[in-house]
Amino acid sequence: MKRRQRQRLTRSVLYGLFALVIVGGAVLSDWQSISRAFLQPQIARDMFPRILTIAARNTIIFTISSFSLGLILGLLLALMKLSTIRPYRWFANVYIEIFRGLPALLTVLLVGFAIPIAFEGFRWRDCTIIPGCGTYGAGTVGLGIVAAAYMAETIRAGIEGVPKGQMEAARSLGMTRTWAMASIVIPQAFRLIIPPLTNELILLIKDTSLLFVLGTSDATRELTKFGRDFATDRFNGTPYIVVGIVYLMITIPMTRLVALLERRNRAAR
């Protein structure tokens, strides 16, 4: 047998095996019980409209608020990392190492439960910094401080990606360092890092599912907790499938957006 023929034969055998596994799986599966457990239209219908008005809405609120907090803290940490003052750099490095190294779930638990225990009398429910606080506050802070650790590195890379000449040109025109940073360097840095930041946003959307551990109430449930409650209530798997589809309806357009932005960024250069 020639090499080409042998190659073709191997490929056909692999294709055949693959098809066999798929078809065999489909034939051998008990479709009735699968659809009974996962695909019940009535249960899916019952989830609406609350899956959108409460669960998806809360997922989006948690995502946006913790992303905003992470962005502000992350920018601060990035500037500290680039500072000429050594203790600032130490602080930023330690912060980043700790919160990138810990499971996000642990940080959420620490913020949600350890802080109220440590500071007697403090309850997230009473905190009034963020309107309608409570779970929102604990969830935002918990996820936000984790996100900040990741975003700090991204933002730092973005700032360092702006040519040094930009800062020099701004300084040569008499601008202070702070002004030059704020109006010349940082706007350009953010353009460079829009794709990785959008990725960070997608990760956050998924991480909001960790917030179920905060024991959220009916009104503050996010998608995963909502699906879990519904599944327990009806003793059926359908809610998980529906919730999964809602997640994908949010995350897939965003991954497409990242791909588009990255292509555009490359084209601009």
Partner 1 sequence: MIGKAAIDVQALHKSFGDLEVLRGIDFVVGEGEVVCVIGPSGSGKSTLLRCVNRLEEPNSGRILIEGDDITDPDADVDAIRTRIGMVFQSFNLFPHLSVLRNLTIAQRRVLKRSKAEAEDIARQTLERVGLLDKINAYPAHLSGGQQQRVAIARALSMKPDLMLFDEPTSALDPELVGEVLEVMRKLASEGMTMMVVTHEMGFAREVGDRVVFMDEGVVVEEGPPEQVITDPQHERTRKFLSMVL
* Cis peptide preceding 49, ω within 30 of 0: yes
Backbone angles phi, psi at 128, to 5 degrees: -115, 10
Radius of gyration over alpha carbons of the chain, in Å? 25
Q: Least Å distance between CB 77 and partner 1?
A: 23
Nearer residue to partner 1 within complex by CB, 108 or 184: 184
Shortest distance, position 166 Cβ to partner 1, whole Å: 6
Q: By the 8 A CB rule, do 216 and 44 touch?
A: no
Residue 61 beta carbon to partner 1: minimum distance, rounded to whole angstroms:
31
- Taking the complex as a whole, the smallest distance from the CB of residue 88 to partner 1 amounts, in Å, to 21
Nearer to partner 1, 191 or 234 (CB): 191
Cβ proximity to partner 1: between 192 and 231 the closer is 192
Instruction: Report CA-CA distances (Å) from 257 to 37, 62, 151, 209, 212.
Output: 34, 21, 19, 22, 28
Say what the alpha-carbon torsion angle 200, 205, 207, 211 is, to the nearest 10 degrees: 140
H helix and E strand count, the chain: 15, 0
Please report how close the Cβ of residue 70 comes to partner 1 at its closest, in angstroms.
24
184 or 197: whose CB is closer to partner 1? 184
Q: What three-state secondary structure class fits 237?
A: coil
Q: How far is the CB of 172 from partner 1 (least distance, A)?
A: 4
- Summarize as ranges the residues that interact with partner 1 (CB under 8 A): 163, 165-166, 168-176, 179, 183-184, 187-188, 191, 268
Q: Which is nearer to partner 1, 43 or 189 (CB)?
A: 189
Burial of 163 (0-12, 13-18, 19+ CB in 10 A): exposed
Q: Which residues of 35-62 are buried (b: 16+ CB within 10 A; e: fewer)?
A: eeebebeebbebbeeebeebbbebbebb
In the complex, the smallest distance separating the C-beta of residue 187 from partner 1, rounded to whole angstroms, is: 5
Nearer to partner 1, 130 or 175 (CB): 175
The nearer residue to partner 1, 167 or 250, going by C-beta atoms, is: 167
Q: How many CA atoms lie within 13 A of 179 on its CB side?
A: 9
